Amino acid sequence: MSSEKLLNITINGMPVKVKDGATILQAAKKLGIKIPTLCYLELDCFHFEHRKGSCRICMVEVEGRRNLAPACCTPVMDKMVIQTHSPRAVNARRTVLDLILSDHPKDCLTCAKSGNCELQKLAADFKLTSVKYEGEQSTYDFDKANESIVRDLNKCIMCRRCESACNEMQTVGILSGVRRGFEAIVAPTLEKPLDETNCVFCGQCVAACPVGALTAVIRNQDVLDALNDPKKTVVVQTAPAVRVAIGEGFGLKPGTISTGKLVTALRRLGFDAVFDTDFAADLTIMEETTEFIERVKKGENLPILTSCCPGWVKFFEHQFPDLIHIPSTAKSPQQMFGAIAKTYYAQKLGVDPKDLVVVSIMPCLAKKYEASRPEFARDGIRDVDIVLSTRELIIMLNEAGIQLDRLEDGEYDSPLGESTGAAVIFGASGGVLEAALRTAADWLTGQDLEKVDFAAVRGLEGTKEATVEVAGMQVKAAVVSGLGNARRLLERIRSGEAQYHIIEIMACPGGCLNGGGQPYIRGNTAILEARMNAIYEADKGLPKRKSHQNPDIIKLYDEFLGKPGSHLAHELLHTHYISRGNA
């Protein structure tokens, strides 16, 4: 039996038992009572909760108290009696909304978050048809100097959700409340632009922001311009996490596997070829596993850290420069794809690399930043030219009148479209590590082992540890998602408290499934679970589930690269890192 203390409270005349320490908001949810919120955000499976009560939209009336109480951060007490929608509480909410709107731009029709704005929805719910208080408006400059994130502080409502996501969940620590009173905003120290800070461009602040103060850089028009340029050959790659999330933008259930429909949609947009980033994920495993086996045999530079996530890469460049020698030097799948497309594929087509445009569809805003890094260009030609988020592609398809949910299934083009189940699971936290273990086990034993599932490294938990037997060797592994969890683990490694052979790290909690460019989930972890389950379902449905079994990867090495870890492979598929220190 549980010894957890339960409290008896009454909400709107209905009795309910709740755990000691629960808030009024949580108690109301148990009864199916909806209390409006703006600043509140919870990701329960990652133990992240922003409930500072800064917006005051969730005010309720508590019997025996003179003042109204914010439901999101007021703990319940035994025998508490609460009215959530009394005239006094509703009037207070309406007044707060009126005051927020009095200093908020009225450009809802053209705002990047129109349709996804929580303030817009609340105004509609309260049927606010006019602005009650007119007066001075705050005016700030846009910050759009980077490739990933746009900051429009004119729309900041001081809910401070972005601050919590950056500082508490991700521990990047660049955002805080600055100025006072009417001039108060959330901004970096000295109000620097993001590209002059330690920002890793993970996009979790964008996902947390309830309004249009933080949005993604939109590159749709650049793609359309390229598609309409007769001198350009335009190809596109799709990341594994996109296929289990994009359907949400067209009314499909979370976790619907939309791979074939996605291919057809992109072909209808006019791309010359539609490829799969999963091909490059298989290629990543070939290089990264080769590197892992070499390090294990030598007993050097362990643990090896996966390097597929650009947000994580920039984080360790700033925060852990003393450990810069241990991440794998393998490029991410996005960048490997671009490098192979601009060389191997361009040669096959007889196209000048400068006339080949590579577009990526990614769940991630840091991928936009990654593509712009100078080391990912050869002779001034970028490996990847344009990166669109899942949300941007949804907008693009809607503009083109393409109803993804009604399309027939298409097939990826060859030779950069073939992939295995090992590549598909890259989208989920633990997927990169599991894919590497599948290949490492075969290579170290020289056998085609039947066991391909390493379930111990799966799941949405922020930190997972496992000891896995590979070819008779006990491999100590860890999987981390969310940069706050990464920091805690790396500090243990730095101090010598923890020792591993291999670690996978993803910047976003839950991995790429929860990337900053995915359809907004607003803390709904059930959606993440549905996406994750779909990823593993897709893996199980493929005939080949190990990266080294991909016939097009084998052909790529035979015809072009030679072997994993070759000189040409290092030239095209590997990179170096920069010790950035703290900005």
Would you name the residues annotated as active-site residues?
Answer: 288, 291, 308, 328, 367, 370, 375, 512
Q: Where is 496: in which H helix or E strand?
A: none
Q: In degrees rounded to 5, what are phi and psi of residue 219?
A: -120, 20
Q: Are 23 and 76 in contact (CB under 8 A)?
A: yes
Q: Where is 53: in which H helix or E strand?
A: none
Q: Where is 367: in which H helix or E strand?
A: helix 366-372
Quote the CA–CA distance of 104 and 109 in Å, as a whole number: 14
Compute the residue count for the chain.
Answer: 583
Quote the CA–CA distance of 573 and 338 in Å, as a whole number: 10
Question: Cα separations (Å) of 41 from 9, 31, 109?
Answer: 24, 19, 25
Q: CB-based contacts of 206: which residues, under 8 Å, 6+ apart?
A: 149, 162, 214, 215, 216, 365, 516
Quote the CA–CA distance of 208 and 93 in Å, as a whole number: 21
CA 133: distance to chain centroid?
38
Q: Are 292 and 502 in contact (CB under 8 A)?
A: yes
Tell me whether residue 66 is exposed, middle or buried, using C-beta atoms within 10 angstroms of its C-beta: 0 to 12, 13 to 18, 19 or more. exposed
Coil, strand or helix: which one is 554? helix
Quote the CA–CA distance of 51 and 32 in Å, as a whole number: 19
Smallest CA-to-CA distance from 528 within 426, 447, 443, 460 is with 460
Smallest CA-to-CA distance from 413 within 234, 223, 243, 284 is with 234
Q: Are 233 and 351 in contact (CB under 8 A)?
A: yes
Sign of CA dihedral 19, 22, 28, 30: negative
| Cα angle: 433, vertex 287, 563; to 5 degrees | 145
CA 542: distance to chain centroid?
25
Quote the CA–CA distance of 362 and 310 in Å, as a whole number: 12
Coil, strand or helix: which one is 174? coil
Pairing outcome for strands 6-11 and 14-19: antiparallel
